[in-house]
Amino acid sequence: STPAAAPATTIGGGGGVNIYQWLPFTQQDLTAASRATVAFAADYENWSYTEPAQAYVAKMNGLVTTNFAASLQNSYATPGVAALRSAQKQISTSSGGIASIRSFGTGSITFVVNIAQRLATTSGTSNSTKQYAVTVVSNATGWQVNDVELAGAGNQ
């Protein structure tokens, strides 16, 4: 027997295409998820050596899940990292933008995000841009960041 043909999907013409019918999220979800991601990107590499870990994470309140907030706080307070930040009087400012969508599933979207950082220290100032994979999840309070890692690390 011959397999049944899949229904034809036309692109173009008068009706246009609603790609969201094929995705596990709505256009509004994508907008909300991307807003949370960009807001997080602005805060992630924005800190000062005078800022305690609790204050660093507090500015991301509502943007990150509770578990991820605890992880960020622990990472920020790591003794060797915190001591270097203080010794060099590091102050970091940043901005970020979404480069692409890496993956998605029901209730989860991973964006590739470019974060530009300006780092001022007692030795001078440097500028760099890094790509991160930022995963946001949908929960009762909206879309929140649940994970961040360098875009080149892990599974891609």
For the chain, how many residues are written?
156
Q: What's the CATH code of the domain at 110?
A: 3.10.450.540
Predicted pLDDT at 15: 62
Predicted pLDDT at 10: 47
On whether residue 17 sits in a domain, the answer given is no
On whether residue 18 sits in a domain, the answer given is no
Ordered per-residue pLDDT tens for the chain, 156 residues:
444 444 444 445 556 788 878 888 888 998 999 999 999 999 999 999 999 999 999 999 999 999 999 999 999 999 999 999 999 999 999 999 999 999 998 899 999 999 999 999 999 999 999 999 999 999 988 999 999 999 987 654
On whether residue 12 sits in a domain, the answer given is no
For the chain, how many structural domains are there in total?
1
On whether residue 106 sits in a domain, the answer given is yes
On whether residue 100 sits in a domain, the answer given is yes
Q: What residue numbers bound the domain in which 120 lies?
A: 25-150
Predicted pLDDT at 1: 45
On whether residue 14 sits in a domain, the answer given is no
On whether residue 146 sits in a domain, the answer given is yes
On whether residue 6 sits in a domain, the answer given is no
Predicted pLDDT at 7: 44
Model-level pTM? 0.84
